[in-house]
Chain A
Amino acid sequence: MTEHQTIHFAAYWLPLLGCGVILCSWLAMRSLRRMITARQTTADEQIPTIDAGAAGTSLIHRWDPRFKIIALLGFAFCAVSLHSPRSVLVALLLTIITVSIARIPWHRPLRRLLAMNGFLVMFLIVMPLTVPTRISDTLIIFGDWQLMAFNLRGLELALVIIGKAWCVALLMEPLLATAPLGATLEGLTRLGLPGKISETLLIAHRYLFVFLGEVQRMRSGMEARAFRPGRRWDTLRDLGNFVGMLLVRSFERTHRVYAAMQARGYNGSLPHHHQFRGATSDWLQTMVWLGLGLGLVLADRLHTGGF
């Protein structure tokens, strides 16, 4: 405990640095948000569609969904196993290259990164303060505040976590947006996911947008009756009724939907449409990706010492 290095700063640096960091991140977030909203096609687009960019012709688009899922999922798991900042950086670079190969408009992956901010910023603040001190650690101490010892190893750990989370988030777009959702799910079924689960997911995805419309309708109804979220107890009662009503309506809708599906010959499974190829190029691409992932993990473990 006594051997760790400490860097001392005068106490007034703490509020100064804190404010600086908060201001910078706030400005960055705001400009990013502006950029993303400026790119949106419709104003009320609350839920982005998963497979919006499915019509492209890039290398990733032509990849057989089954192989794509295996390769990118495998790479994602390799990426989250990394420990050293350097290898995470390499993985991040690789995913960025993939997104540009797939020619996905940048506002979509950026939006994913923004969505994770809350959780990740918590790590960035909490980890340096709570990580137990080890011998080789460097602490930053402001003035006499021993309690606020800022551990650089914690900061590094938090940054590595953020990098890994960004990696996977960036991979989601090439993984999902480059084929119709139906094809991706059918690929998953071919790979062994129970067919029931993927079909249910397909139907759930469809009804999401229906219910979102319903919620907006109900909300404008509530607002027309002068509902304003605010005083806690009343708000909770109204929102409880609101959610209850949403459930009642959706249950009633399920009966109608189910009857309609049966009338069209639904017998417990949906028909399959997609043709899968499995050509040499698919195999090759998959091998390249898995090789890259495993190579990164290997290099990472050699670098950090031991598995």
Chain B
Amino acid sequence: MHISDGVLPTTIALGTGVVSLAIATWSAKRSPAEDLPKVAVISAAFFVASLVHIPLGPTSIHLLLPGIVGALLGPAAFLAILLGLVLQSLLFQFGGLTALGANALMMGLPALACGLLFQTLRGQSRKRQAITGAFCGGLGVLGSALILAILLALSGEDFLGVAKLALLAHLPVVVIEAIAAGFIVSFLVRVKPELLEAPFTLRKEQILPDTKPKR
């Protein structure tokens, strides 16, 4: 779930905006200039994937996928998520204009953490990778929900009730997301394992020679 405009106090909205712009710039710097079309195409893919609705009881939820984005993109995940959120807010008004920074932190930080975690824990066998993927997928959503609750709680005591409820409402999503992430990773291991090869293992020196434009 995204925070919409008008909920957070202006100081928090501006502060999170500045922080996420800084992280996004770092994220863009860490990915070579020539990789940006790839980041763009992948953010579009994740955007579309998040439109897929899964029936859950009387309602339906849509996948958030922060864990998977992190695992696939490494440091570029933050940029991809920020772009996805910008598009969502420009096109559909999911999330908002002034709350963009807060939403980016909410989804992007867990993505970075889960990506790192996935690359360290994943091991070799398909089963283990799927289980790690599921774990990271669930953890990503849990992290987002926690950050959402913290941001709401920081907005004043009036929002404590909403914060608790939002955290509670995310718990079923965590389970669904974990299972889906496990299946996605297991599919990728079978079909195109090189996608899961860690962007995190790339050192900066390995990236640098590519950043010069080829003429």
Known contacts A80-B5, A268-B34; is A197 also within 8 Å of B83 by CB?
yes
Q: What's the Cα separation between A287 and B183 when bound, in Å?
A: 54
* Chain B: minimal CB distance from A92 (Å): 11
Among A162, A194, A248, point to the contact of B195 (Cβ < 8 A).
Answer: A248
Kindly identify, within residues 247 to 280 of chain A, every residue whose CB is under 8 Å from any CB belonging to chain B: 247-248, 250-251, 253-254, 257-258, 261-262, 266-269
The answer to whether B157 and A246 have CB atoms under 8 Å apart is no
Interface footprint category on A? 35 or more
Q: Which residues of B contact A241 (CB under 8 A)?
A: 183-184, 187
Smallest CB separation, A87 vs chain B (Å): 13
Q: Encode B114-139 as 1/0 by CB contact (under 8 A) with A.
A: 00000000000000000000000000
Contact B4 A244, beta carbon cutoff 8 Å: no
Across-interface contacts of A112 in B (CB, < 8 A): 92-93
A194 CB contacts on chain B under 8 angstroms? 25, 28
A163 to chain B minimum Cβ distance, whole angstroms, is 7
Instruction: Name A46's closest neighbour in chain B (CB-CB).
Output: B51
The majority secondary structure among interface residues of chain A is helix
Within 8 Å by CB of B97, from A50, A73, A154, A206, lies A73
Residue-by-residue, is A171-204 near B (CB-CB < 8 Å gives 1, otherwise 0)? Answer: 1100110000000000000000010110111111
A196 pairs with B36, CB closer than 8 A: yes
Q: Indicate if the CB atoms of A172 and B87 lie closer than 8 Å.
A: no
Contact A168–B98 (Cβ < 8 Å): yes
Q: A237 at the A/B interface (Cβ < 8 Å)?
A: yes
Asked whether any CB of chain B lies closer than 8 Å to the CB of A116, the reply is yes
B1 proximal to A (CB < 8 A): yes
Chain B interface residue bracket vs A: 35 or more
Across the interface, name the chain B residue whose C-beta is closest to A154: B158
| Minimum distance in angstroms from A188 CB to a CB of chain B | 10
CB distance from A18 to the nearest CB of B (A): 17
Interchain CA distance A168-B13 in the complex, whole Å: 13
Do B91 and A197 touch (CB < 8 A)?
no
> Residue-by-residue, is B20-53 near A (CB-CB < 8 Å gives 1, otherwise 0)?
0000110010000110111111111101110111
Q: What would 20 more interface pairs be, CB under 8 Å, given A197-B25, A246-B45? A: A80-B6, A119-B4, A123-B162, A130-B164, A163-B6, A172-B89, A194-B28, A199-B40, A201-B86, A208-B47, A215-B52, A236-B179, A240-B186, A243-B49, A243-B184, A247-B72, A253-B41, A266-B37, A267-B213, A268-B211
* B contact set with A: CB distance below 8 Å: 1-10, 13-14, 24-25, 28, 33-34, 36-45, 47-49, 51-55, 63, 65, 68, 72, 79, 82-84, 86-87, 89-94, 96-98, 157-158, 160-162, 164-165, 176, 179-188, 191-192, 195, 211, 213-215
